[in-house]
Amino acid sequence: MSITTLSSRDLNADLGRAKRAANDGPVIITDHGKPAHVLLSFSEYQRIIGRQQRVVDELGLPPGIEDIDIEFPRSPEMPGQVDLS
């Protein structure tokens, strides 16, 4: 994996070069000489995002719990007036 650095000006002048470079590794895009953005291939982006756990995993709930449907009964009473003054 190689890291390529391009200025914003170079990126605008040759977007194709940046896209090709992103296939080999991240492309750091600078503004006024300072890193400002990173261009990644979509497959690399998916690889990075894939490491994040789902909320259910983070909570320590058993696998499959997200597939359970729960129905809550509706109250037969109509809501009362709300005073918003």
Tens of pLDDT, residues 46-67? 888 776 556 556 666 666 666 7
- For 19-30, the pLDDT digits (tens) are 999 999 999 999
Q: What's this model's pTM, rounded to 2 decimal places?
A: 0.57
Residues in the chain: 85
Amino acid 60: pLDDT: 65
> What is the CATH code for 4-59?
3.40.1620.10
Per-residue tokens: 4: 């390529």
Angstrom distance (rounded) from CA 70 to CA 67: 10
- Residues ≥6 apart with Cβ < 8 Å to 2: 21, 24, 25
The DSSP bridge pattern shows strands 34-39 and 4-7 to be unpaired
Amino acid 6: pLDDT: 95
Alpha-carbon Rg for the chain, nearest whole angstrom, is 25
SS3 call for 66: helix
Q: Where exactly are the structural domains of the chain?
A: 4-59
Amino acid 50: pLDDT: 75
